[in-house]
Amino acid sequence: MTQGADFQRTGPVTSYPIHRVVCVIDSLQEAKQAVHALQDAGFSAEDIHLIGSQDFIAGVREWKQRKNPLSQVVEIFLASYDEGFPGETYLHEAEQGHALLSVRLPSSEQVNQVRDILVDSHAHQIRYFGRWAIADIPS
């Protein structure tokens, strides 16, 4: 992970995003603005991860190479929900050159606050990844 002047930008992310809101923001500039707005609202830089499209794609490739087939099936099963597989949606968005933003929440009660900030930055595909469930967050 590298530290920017005022936000964290991560390399490939290869773990399941438990207790996180994850979204797509088409413009890197708007994603950076969202990071600043989250920090202004009191979220720690260590809990905010801006993931560039190429970094996300590289992370998915790395994950697929490291995992054995059984663990991939288990993780895909655990990461699926009624709407399909969010990882595939985020991969498609990254292939379009869009940035991903992930915010770790100390409490699920902060989901709406984070959503409001992200929506102001034109975020979409907003989801909360809890320990046992994935929830779409309307934008």
pTM of the model: 0.78
The 3-class secondary structure across 6-72, one letter per residue, is CCEEECCCCCCCCCEEEEEECCHHHHHHHHHHHHHCCCCHHHEEEECHHHHHHHHHHHHHHCCHHHH
Provide the number of structural domains found in the chain: 1
- Predicted confidence pLDDT, tens digits, the chain (139 residues): 334 444 444 444 445 678 999 999 999 999 999 999 999 999 999 999 999 999 988 887 887 777 666 665 556 555 555 555 677 888 899 999 999 999 999 888 899 999 999 999 999 999 998 888 888 898 8
What does the alpha-carbon distance between residue 33 and residue 38 come to, in Å, rounded to a whole number? 9
Q: Is 115 helix (H, G, I), strand (E, B) or coil?
A: helix
What does the alpha-carbon distance between residue 9 and residue 3 come to, in Å, rounded to a whole number? 6
Give the CATH number for residue 126: 3.30.70
Going by C-alpha positions, the residue among 22, 27, 30 that lies closest to residue 121 is 30
